[in-house]
Protein backbone atom coordinates (compact mmCIF):
# COMPACT_ATOMS: atom_id res chain seq x y z
CA UNK A 1 0.00 0.00 0.00
CA UNK A 2 1.23 3.50 -0.75
CA UNK A 3 0.87 6.43 1.61
CA UNK A 4 -1.60 9.21 0.80
CA UNK A 5 0.89 11.40 -1.06
CA UNK A 6 3.15 8.96 -2.85
CA UNK A 7 1.89 10.31 -6.17
CA UNK A 8 4.37 13.14 -5.59
CA UNK A 9 7.14 10.58 -5.20
CA UNK A 10 6.64 8.75 -8.49
CA UNK A 11 9.10 9.89 -11.13
CA UNK A 12 9.67 7.95 -14.36
CA UNK A 13 13.15 6.51 -14.49
CA UNK A 14 13.75 7.27 -10.81
CA UNK A 15 10.99 5.85 -8.61
CA UNK A 16 7.91 3.74 -9.23
CA UNK A 17 5.01 3.85 -6.79
CA UNK A 18 6.18 0.59 -5.26
CA UNK A 19 9.76 1.76 -4.91
CA UNK A 20 8.67 5.04 -3.34
CA UNK A 21 6.50 3.20 -0.84
CA UNK A 22 9.37 0.85 0.01
CA UNK A 23 11.76 3.73 0.66
CA UNK A 24 9.25 5.53 2.87
CA UNK A 25 8.53 2.30 4.76
CA UNK A 26 12.27 1.82 5.30
CA UNK A 27 12.56 5.29 6.81
CA UNK A 28 9.63 4.53 9.08
CA UNK A 29 11.24 1.27 10.18
CA UNK A 30 14.49 3.01 11.16
CA UNK A 31 12.74 5.76 13.12
CA UNK A 32 12.68 4.89 16.80
CA UNK A 33 9.56 4.92 18.95
CA UNK A 34 10.60 8.23 20.53
CA UNK A 35 10.80 9.88 17.08
CA UNK A 36 14.58 9.79 16.64
CA UNK A 37 15.86 9.06 13.13
CA UNK A 38 19.49 7.84 13.19
CA UNK A 39 21.63 7.50 10.08
CA UNK A 40 20.90 3.77 10.33
CA UNK A 41 20.24 1.47 13.25
CA UNK A 42 23.31 1.26 15.45
CA UNK A 43 24.77 4.52 14.21
CA UNK A 44 24.34 8.03 15.58
CA UNK A 45 21.74 10.73 15.01
CA UNK A 46 22.66 14.29 14.11
CA UNK A 47 20.03 17.05 14.20
CA UNK A 48 20.42 18.19 10.57
CA UNK A 49 20.03 14.77 8.97
CA UNK A 50 17.26 13.92 11.43
CA UNK A 51 15.29 16.92 10.13
CA UNK A 52 15.98 16.04 6.49
CA UNK A 53 14.56 12.55 7.02
CA UNK A 54 11.53 14.03 8.83
CA UNK A 55 10.89 16.33 5.88
CA UNK A 56 10.97 13.34 3.55
CA UNK A 57 8.35 11.65 5.71
CA UNK A 58 6.14 14.72 5.47
CA UNK A 59 6.58 14.78 1.70
CA UNK A 60 5.25 11.21 1.70
CA UNK A 61 2.22 12.09 3.81
CA UNK A 62 3.63 10.45 6.94
CA UNK A 63 2.79 13.47 9.06
CA UNK A 64 2.44 11.71 12.41
CA UNK A 65 5.89 10.16 12.05
CA UNK A 66 7.37 13.51 11.05
CA UNK A 67 5.73 15.24 14.00
CA UNK A 68 7.28 12.69 16.36
CA UNK A 69 10.68 13.59 14.93
CA UNK A 70 10.11 17.25 15.82
CA UNK A 71 8.87 16.32 19.28
CA UNK A 72 12.17 14.47 19.75
CA UNK A 73 14.03 17.69 18.97
CA UNK A 74 11.88 19.67 21.39
CA UNK A 75 12.49 17.13 24.13
CA UNK A 76 16.27 17.12 23.65
CA UNK A 77 16.97 20.80 23.06
CA UNK A 78 19.62 22.17 25.40
CA UNK A 79 18.72 25.02 27.74
CA UNK A 80 20.68 27.45 25.55
CA UNK A 81 18.64 26.57 22.44
CA UNK A 82 21.17 24.25 20.81
CA UNK A 83 21.50 20.53 20.20
CA UNK A 84 24.65 18.45 20.39
CA UNK A 85 26.24 17.35 17.14
CA UNK A 86 25.59 13.63 17.63
CA UNK A 87 23.52 11.30 19.81
CA UNK A 88 23.87 7.53 20.16
CA UNK A 89 21.20 5.45 18.47
CA UNK A 90 18.96 3.84 21.06
CA UNK A 91 20.21 6.03 23.90
CA UNK A 92 19.23 9.64 23.28
CA UNK A 93 20.82 10.71 26.55
CA UNK A 94 24.27 9.50 25.48
CA UNK A 95 25.92 12.23 23.45
CA UNK A 96 28.73 11.10 21.15
CA UNK A 97 29.81 14.60 20.04
CA UNK A 98 29.27 17.35 22.58
CA UNK A 99 30.14 20.14 20.18
CA UNK A 100 27.24 22.13 18.73
CA UNK A 101 27.22 23.04 15.05
CA UNK A 102 25.40 26.15 13.91
CA UNK A 103 23.85 24.75 10.73
CA UNK A 104 22.67 21.65 12.61
CA UNK A 105 20.89 23.86 15.15
CA UNK A 106 19.36 26.23 12.60
CA UNK A 107 17.82 23.56 10.37
CA UNK A 108 14.91 22.92 12.71
CA UNK A 109 13.31 26.08 11.27
CA UNK A 110 13.27 24.58 7.76
CA UNK A 111 11.69 21.38 8.97
CA UNK A 112 9.09 23.05 11.17
CA UNK A 113 7.97 25.39 8.38
CA UNK A 114 7.82 22.47 5.93
CA UNK A 115 5.67 20.46 8.35
CA UNK A 116 3.34 23.40 8.90
CA UNK A 117 2.92 23.96 5.17
CA UNK A 118 2.23 20.25 4.70
CA UNK A 119 -0.35 20.02 7.48
CA UNK A 120 -1.66 23.51 8.34
CA UNK A 121 -1.32 22.45 11.98
CA UNK A 122 -1.43 25.69 13.99
CA UNK A 123 -1.09 23.99 17.42
CA UNK A 124 2.09 22.30 16.16
CA UNK A 125 3.50 25.67 15.12
CA UNK A 126 2.59 27.13 18.51
CA UNK A 127 4.41 24.30 20.30
CA UNK A 128 7.50 24.51 18.12
CA UNK A 129 7.83 28.31 18.01
CA UNK A 130 9.79 28.52 21.30
CA UNK A 131 12.07 25.75 20.05
CA UNK A 132 12.75 27.54 16.76
CA UNK A 133 13.16 30.92 18.45
CA UNK A 134 15.71 29.61 20.93
CA UNK A 135 17.62 27.76 18.20
CA UNK A 136 17.87 30.82 15.94
CA UNK A 137 18.97 33.04 18.82
CA UNK A 138 21.71 30.54 19.67
CA UNK A 139 22.91 30.44 16.06
CA UNK A 140 22.99 34.21 15.66
CA UNK A 141 25.28 34.56 18.65
CA UNK A 142 27.90 32.98 16.37
CA UNK A 143 27.43 35.54 13.57
CA UNK A 144 30.58 37.52 12.83
CA UNK A 145 30.75 41.26 12.00
CA UNK A 146 31.14 40.36 8.32
CA UNK A 147 27.85 38.45 8.29
CA UNK A 148 29.25 34.93 8.13
CA UNK A 149 28.38 32.51 10.94
CA UNK A 150 30.94 30.55 12.95
CA UNK A 151 30.39 26.86 12.39
CA UNK A 152 30.77 25.38 15.88
CA UNK A 153 30.84 25.97 19.62
CA UNK A 154 32.64 23.46 21.82
CA UNK A 155 31.10 21.98 24.94
CA UNK A 156 33.24 24.23 27.14
CA UNK A 157 31.67 27.27 25.46
CA UNK A 158 34.59 28.04 23.16
CA UNK A 159 33.26 29.40 19.87
CA UNK A 160 35.00 29.34 16.51
CA UNK A 161 34.91 32.38 14.27
CA UNK A 162 35.69 30.23 11.23
CA UNK A 163 32.71 29.96 8.89
CA UNK A 164 31.81 27.30 6.34
CA UNK A 165 30.15 28.37 3.11
CA UNK A 166 27.94 25.28 2.99
CA UNK A 167 26.84 25.66 6.61
CA UNK A 168 26.23 29.39 6.32
CA UNK A 169 24.22 28.88 3.12
CA UNK A 170 22.05 26.32 4.89
CA UNK A 171 21.61 28.77 7.76
CA UNK A 172 20.54 31.46 5.30
CA UNK A 173 17.74 29.14 4.18
CA UNK A 174 16.84 28.39 7.80
CA UNK A 175 16.69 32.08 8.70
CA UNK A 176 14.24 32.72 5.87
CA UNK A 177 12.06 29.84 7.07
CA UNK A 178 12.27 31.14 10.64
CA UNK A 179 11.17 34.57 9.40
CA UNK A 180 8.24 32.92 7.62
CA UNK A 181 7.21 31.27 10.90
CA UNK A 182 7.52 34.59 12.74
CA UNK A 183 5.45 36.29 10.04
CA UNK A 184 2.77 33.62 10.28
CA UNK A 185 2.62 34.18 14.04
CA UNK A 186 2.68 37.97 13.63
CA UNK A 187 5.79 38.21 15.80
CA UNK A 188 8.28 40.36 13.83
CA UNK A 189 11.96 39.61 14.31
CA UNK A 190 13.89 42.59 12.90
CA UNK A 191 17.22 41.30 14.22
CA UNK A 192 16.74 38.10 12.22
CA UNK A 193 15.94 40.13 9.10
CA UNK A 194 19.18 42.07 9.48
CA UNK A 195 21.15 38.88 10.15
CA UNK A 196 19.75 37.21 7.02
CA UNK A 197 20.67 40.20 4.87
CA UNK A 198 24.21 40.38 6.26
CA UNK A 199 24.69 36.66 5.76
CA UNK A 200 23.42 36.76 2.18
CA UNK A 201 25.75 39.66 1.40
CA UNK A 202 28.74 37.74 2.78
CA UNK A 203 27.85 34.65 0.71
CA UNK A 204 27.34 36.64 -2.49
CA UNK A 205 30.20 39.11 -2.26
CA UNK A 206 32.84 37.92 0.20
CA UNK A 207 34.07 34.35 -0.37
CA UNK A 208 37.22 35.25 1.59
CA UNK A 209 35.16 35.31 4.79
CA UNK A 210 34.69 31.53 4.61
CA UNK A 211 37.13 28.66 4.95
CA UNK A 212 38.34 27.44 1.57
CA UNK A 213 36.46 24.20 0.95
CA UNK A 214 36.13 24.64 -2.80
CA UNK A 215 37.03 20.99 -3.41
CA UNK A 216 33.68 19.97 -1.92
CA UNK A 217 30.64 19.91 -4.16
CA UNK A 218 28.41 21.20 -1.37
CA UNK A 219 30.34 24.48 -1.36
CA UNK A 220 29.59 24.68 -5.08
CA UNK A 221 25.81 24.30 -5.06
CA UNK A 222 24.71 25.23 -1.52
CA UNK A 223 24.78 29.01 -2.04
CA UNK A 224 22.12 28.35 -4.70
CA UNK A 225 20.16 25.72 -2.76
CA UNK A 226 20.19 27.97 0.31
CA UNK A 227 18.71 30.84 -1.67
CA UNK A 228 21.59 33.30 -1.38
CA UNK A 229 22.36 33.16 -5.11
CA UNK A 230 19.48 33.43 -7.56
CA UNK A 231 18.87 34.18 -11.23
CA UNK A 232 21.90 34.65 -13.43
CA UNK A 233 24.28 34.44 -10.45
CA UNK A 234 22.92 31.00 -9.60
CA UNK A 235 23.08 29.80 -13.19
CA UNK A 236 26.65 31.01 -13.56
CA UNK A 237 27.75 29.24 -10.41
CA UNK A 238 26.22 25.93 -11.47
CA UNK A 239 27.78 26.22 -14.93
CA UNK A 240 31.21 27.00 -13.45
CA UNK A 241 31.42 23.82 -11.39
CA UNK A 242 29.57 21.36 -13.59
CA UNK A 243 32.54 19.69 -15.28
CA UNK A 244 34.48 19.45 -12.03
CA UNK A 245 31.81 17.75 -9.97
CA UNK A 246 29.32 15.92 -12.19
CA UNK A 247 30.24 12.43 -13.44
CA UNK A 248 27.77 11.64 -16.26
CA UNK A 249 25.75 8.52 -15.60
CA UNK A 250 27.07 8.08 -12.05
CA UNK A 251 26.25 11.17 -9.99
CA UNK A 252 28.09 13.97 -8.25
CA UNK A 253 31.53 13.83 -6.68
CA UNK A 254 31.65 14.65 -3.00
CA UNK A 255 35.22 15.95 -3.27
CA UNK A 256 37.40 16.59 -6.31
CA UNK A 257 39.45 14.89 -7.60
CA UNK A 258 38.37 11.79 -5.66
CA UNK A 259 36.61 9.15 -7.83
CA UNK A 260 33.69 8.95 -5.39
CA UNK A 261 30.11 9.93 -6.15
CA UNK A 262 27.59 10.25 -3.34
CA UNK A 263 23.83 9.94 -3.31
CA UNK A 264 23.15 12.79 -0.90
CA UNK A 265 25.13 15.37 -2.87
CA UNK A 266 23.63 14.13 -6.14
CA UNK A 267 20.07 14.43 -4.85
CA UNK A 268 20.78 17.86 -3.42
CA UNK A 269 22.23 19.00 -6.72
CA UNK A 270 19.07 17.75 -8.44
CA UNK A 271 17.01 19.81 -5.98
CA UNK A 272 19.26 22.80 -6.68
CA UNK A 273 18.74 22.39 -10.42
CA UNK A 274 14.99 22.31 -9.87
CA UNK A 275 15.31 25.56 -7.89
CA UNK A 276 17.00 27.20 -10.89
CA UNK A 277 14.33 25.95 -13.29
CA UNK A 278 16.41 23.14 -14.82
CA UNK A 279 14.07 20.24 -14.13
CA UNK A 280 15.31 18.19 -17.10
CA UNK A 281 18.88 18.21 -15.84
CA UNK A 282 17.64 17.51 -12.32
CA UNK A 283 15.86 14.42 -13.60
CA UNK A 284 19.01 13.21 -15.36
CA UNK A 285 21.04 13.56 -12.17
CA UNK A 286 18.46 11.56 -10.21
CA UNK A 287 18.42 8.87 -12.88
CA UNK A 288 22.20 8.67 -12.66
CA UNK A 289 22.13 7.45 -9.05
CA UNK A 290 19.71 4.57 -9.54
CA UNK A 291 22.75 2.32 -9.16
CA UNK A 292 22.94 3.35 -5.48
CA UNK A 293 19.52 1.93 -4.67
CA UNK A 294 19.59 -1.28 -2.64
CA UNK A 295 16.47 -3.07 -3.91
CA UNK A 296 15.77 -5.30 -0.93
CA UNK A 297 15.54 -2.45 1.60
CA UNK A 298 14.54 0.42 -0.68
CA UNK A 299 17.31 2.54 0.82
CA UNK A 300 20.37 4.04 -0.89
CA UNK A 301 24.07 3.48 -0.44
CA UNK A 302 25.95 6.58 0.68
CA UNK A 303 28.45 6.46 -2.16
CA UNK A 304 30.30 4.62 -4.92
CA UNK A 305 34.02 4.59 -5.76
CA UNK A 306 33.92 4.25 -9.53
CA UNK A 307 37.62 3.58 -10.08
CA UNK A 308 37.25 0.45 -7.93
CA UNK A 309 33.65 -0.39 -8.88
CA UNK A 310 32.89 -0.48 -5.15
CA UNK A 311 30.11 0.73 -2.92
CA UNK A 312 31.70 2.73 -0.10
CA UNK A 313 31.01 3.10 2.70
CA UNK A 314 28.74 0.09 3.19
CA UNK A 315 26.03 2.25 4.71
CA UNK A 316 22.37 2.65 3.77
CA UNK A 317 21.67 6.07 5.25
CA UNK A 318 18.35 7.69 6.05
CA UNK A 319 19.65 11.07 4.98
CA UNK A 320 20.56 9.80 1.51
CA UNK A 321 17.05 8.43 1.06
CA UNK A 322 15.62 11.62 2.55
CA UNK A 323 17.50 13.85 0.12
CA UNK A 324 16.36 11.78 -2.83
CA UNK A 325 12.71 11.81 -1.73
CA UNK A 326 12.76 15.59 -1.28
CA UNK A 327 14.24 16.12 -4.75
CA UNK A 328 11.61 13.82 -6.26
CA UNK A 329 8.87 15.59 -4.28
CA UNK A 330 9.95 18.97 -5.67
CA UNK A 331 9.98 17.65 -9.23
CA UNK A 332 6.61 16.04 -8.55
CA UNK A 333 5.05 19.31 -7.44
CA UNK A 334 4.59 18.64 -3.71
CA UNK A 335 3.37 22.03 -2.52
CA UNK A 336 5.15 22.21 0.84
CA UNK A 337 8.48 21.01 -0.56
CA UNK A 338 8.25 23.39 -3.51
CA UNK A 339 7.42 26.33 -1.24
CA UNK A 340 10.27 25.65 1.18
CA UNK A 341 13.01 25.07 -1.40
CA UNK A 342 11.70 27.24 -4.22
CA UNK A 343 11.90 30.19 -1.87
CA UNK A 344 9.52 32.38 -3.82
CA UNK A 345 7.31 33.07 -0.81
CA UNK A 346 10.03 33.06 1.86
CA UNK A 347 10.93 36.41 3.44
CA UNK A 348 14.26 37.77 2.27
CA UNK A 349 15.26 39.79 5.31
CA UNK A 350 16.96 43.14 4.84
CA UNK A 351 19.10 43.86 1.81
CA UNK A 352 22.52 44.49 3.35
CA UNK A 353 23.84 45.97 0.10
CA UNK A 354 21.23 48.71 0.33
CA UNK A 355 21.72 49.28 4.03
CA UNK A 356 25.38 50.02 4.42
CA UNK A 357 26.56 46.43 4.03
CA UNK A 358 28.24 46.74 0.66
CA UNK A 359 31.80 46.93 1.91
- CA pair distance 356, 245, nearest whole angstrom: 36
Asked if 174 and 309 sit in the same domain, the reply is no
Q: Is residue 229 part of a domain?
A: yes
- CA pair distance 182, 320, nearest whole angstrom: 30
Which has the minimum average pLDDT: 138-142, 296-300, 326-330, 343-347?
343-347
* 3-state SS, residue 43: coil
- When pLDDT is cut at 50, 70 and 90, the band that residue 354 belongs to is low
Domain count along the chain: 2
- CA pair distance 143, 147, nearest whole angstrom: 6
**Domain containing 54: what range?**
44-213
- Which of 213, 233, 255 lies at the terminal end of a domain, its last residue? 213
Contacts of 212 (CB under 8 A, 6+ apart): none
Q: Is residue 347 part of a domain?
A: no
Q: Rounded to whole angstroms, what are the CA distances from 79 to 74, 110, 134, 137, 138? A: 11, 21, 9, 12, 10
Contacts of 172 (CB under 8 A, 6+ apart): 196, 199, 200, 203, 226, 227, 228
Which DSSP string corresponds to 152-169? EE-TTS-B---B-HHHHH
Please confirm whether the linkage preceding 52 is cis (ω < 30° from 0): no
Q: Is residue 359 part of a domain?
A: no
Asked if 266 and 150 sit in the same domain, the reply is no
Asked if 221 and 161 sit in the same domain, the reply is no
Asked if 192 and 296 sit in the same domain, the reply is no
Convert the pLDDT of each residue in 19-66 to its tens digit.
999 999 999 999 999 999 999 999 999 999 999 999 999 999 999 999
Q: Is residue 109 part of a domain?
A: yes
Percent of the chain with pLDDT over 90: 94
Asked if 142 and 218 sit in the same domain, the reply is no
Asked if 80 and 114 sit in the same domain, the reply is yes
Asked if 24 and 172 sit in the same domain, the reply is no
- CA pair distance 77, 71, nearest whole angstrom: 10
Asked if 242 and 306 sit in the same domain, the reply is yes
Q: Which has more pLDDT, 148 or 2?
A: 148
Q: Is residue 62 part of a domain?
A: yes
- CA pair distance 269, 285, nearest whole angstrom: 8
Asked if 190 and 246 sit in the same domain, the reply is no
Asked if 62 and 201 sit in the same domain, the reply is yes
Which pairs count as long-range contacts for 75-82, CB under 8 Å and 24+ apart, including other chains?
75/34, 77/131, 77/134, 77/135, 80/134, 80/138, 81/105, 81/133, 81/134, 81/135, 81/136, 81/137, 81/138, 82/135, 82/138, 82/153
pTM of the model: 0.96
Residue 91 pLDDT > 80, yes or no? Answer: no
Q: At what angle do helices 318-331 and 17-30 cross, to 10 degrees?
A: 140
- CA pair distance 328, 287, nearest whole angstrom: 11
Q: Is residue 357 part of a domain?
A: no
CA-nearest of 336, 346, 355 to 183 is 346
Q: Is residue 351 part of a domain?
A: no
Asked if 98 and 182 sit in the same domain, the reply is yes
- CA pair distance 258, 250, nearest whole angstrom: 14
Residue 356 pLDDT > 70, yes or no? Answer: no
- In CATH, what number is assigned to the domain containing residue 202? 1.50.10.20
Q: Is residue 323 part of a domain?
A: yes
Amino acid sequence: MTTPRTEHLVLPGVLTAGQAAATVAALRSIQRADGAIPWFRGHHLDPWDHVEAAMALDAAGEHEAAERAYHWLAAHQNDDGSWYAAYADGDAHRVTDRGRESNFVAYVAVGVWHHYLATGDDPFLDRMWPVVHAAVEWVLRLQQPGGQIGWRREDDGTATADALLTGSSSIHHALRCALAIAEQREEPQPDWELAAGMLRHAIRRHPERFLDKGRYSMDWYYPVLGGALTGTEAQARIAEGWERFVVPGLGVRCVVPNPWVTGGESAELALTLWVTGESDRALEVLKSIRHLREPESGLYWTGYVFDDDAVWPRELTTWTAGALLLAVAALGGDEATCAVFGGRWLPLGLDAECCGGGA
